Structure 1
């Protein structure tokens, strides 16, 4: 069961870091530091969007429209933190 606990924590950590990379890249694109016409930048951006859109889309449907401000990543961060803390607080259950 310890392996299950570690796998769940690893998955949450990977999602966390992919989201950080996506947010940083979106800022760099918006401030014109990165250009989507570059093939490598486009491939990375497209890949990150494909990974995260299935997570963000249901949350965007629930949240009210805030114009240009996307709050879905913030909500996902809060959910990840809650899940990590819930797993850590119940780690004894995984150990048996």
Structure 2
């Protein structure tokens, strides 16, 4: 059972980096540092958009409109940190004590 929580922890860690990469790429687009017409950049941007936008959309529906400031990636990162600490501090010790 600890293997399952380890895989879940690593999946959350992987998604953490996807959110970070998506935020950085959006900044690079916004400041016109990279060319969005480049097929490689476009493929990476499309992948990151498809991986993060469903989660961002749900969070944006609950958050107030702050104009041009999008805090949904920050909320996602805090949510991932919360889930990871929950796994490490509560779930793994409970599984270890249960002997499963």
Return the TM-score normalized by structure 2.
0.91
Partner of 2:83: 83
Post-superposition, which runs of at least 4 consecutive aligned residues in structure 1 deviate over 6 A?
none
Partner of 2:30: 30
Task: Quote the Cα distance in structure 2 between the aligned partners of 1:86 and 1:16.
Answer: 16
Task: Quote the Cα distance in structure 2 between the aligned partners of 1:94 and 1:69.
Answer: 41
Unaligned runs of 5+ in 1: none
SS at match of 1:35: coil
* 1:55 corresponds to 2:85: no
* 1:92 corresponds to 2:59: no
CA contact (8 A) 1:5 1:94 kept: no
Kindly report the root-mean-square deviation, in angstroms, between the aligned alpha carbons of the 2 structures: 0.9
Task: Quote the Cα distance in structure 1 between the aligned partners of 2:26 and 2:57.
Answer: 17
Partner of 2:19: 19
Between the two proteins, the alignment pairs up a number of residues equal to 96
Return the TM-score normalized by structure 1.
0.94
Unaligned runs of 5+ in 2: none
> Which shows bigger deviation, 63-72 or 85-94?
85-94
